[in-house]
Structure 1
Amino acid sequence: MSSDTHTSHGFGRIVVAVYAVFALSASARSLYQLATKADEAPFAYGLSALAGLVYIVATYALATNRRGLATWTIGFELVGVVVVGLLTVFDEQLFPDATVWSTFGIQYAFVPLLLPVVGLWWVFRNRTIRG
């Protein structure tokens, strides 16, 4: 296997690292919000916790070369960020406080919208390679 098709080297390592950062940041943010002010926006904070879990599973799947799990997880992430993004654009009242995926990840420089596209591209680009 060439070094650029495995997540322990090259671009694959960068993808895993970015997912790991988002796993940590989304999880920490949501746990803090749920612990300190869950009554203010329980759905939004719970959704951020779900996003954190999705990022954790995606990081694991990519880091361990589990392409099927990565595809499903990242696909779920993409649908989530698009649906939540659209909901927050069309009806801001649904989310009294922002989630990681609100307005397509605007609070994170739109990385939540771009990350699943890059992640799926990387997985599909390397789908015929077996680890």
Structure 2
Amino acid sequence: MRYGRERTRVRVRASARARARDRGQVAIEYLGFIPVLLIVGLAGLQIGAVAYAAEQAATAARAGARAASLRQDAQTACAGAVSGSLKVSCTGGGGGGDSVTVTASVDIPQLVPGWSFGAAHKTATMPLDH
């Protein structure tokens, strides 16, 4: 009988030692997962910046085409339609027949170093105002 109780005590002590060794395991796993969370978060922010630049390029192209259809300066209208922190350039303003086409290019902001996406390009066509 006594032999069985001793064996149980040894098992209890061994499991207590194992629990003591595992105490910091969750903290270590969390610290190892933080870089993954940061990369996913930064990727989400960068995708948002790409979508925002594309939306701003579409707005600039429409504004430039509208100004060109009224025989005004398309470049000024493009620059005025975009948020001040973004760099925009518009080309076109001419067209064949009774419409005008303007293409706007907005540089996509680089939020994460090393992740460069170039520029977003959008085109808009408007009928000439007679």
TM-score calculated relative to the size of structure 1: 0.34
Higher strand share: 2
Larger radius of gyration: 2
Higher helix share: 1
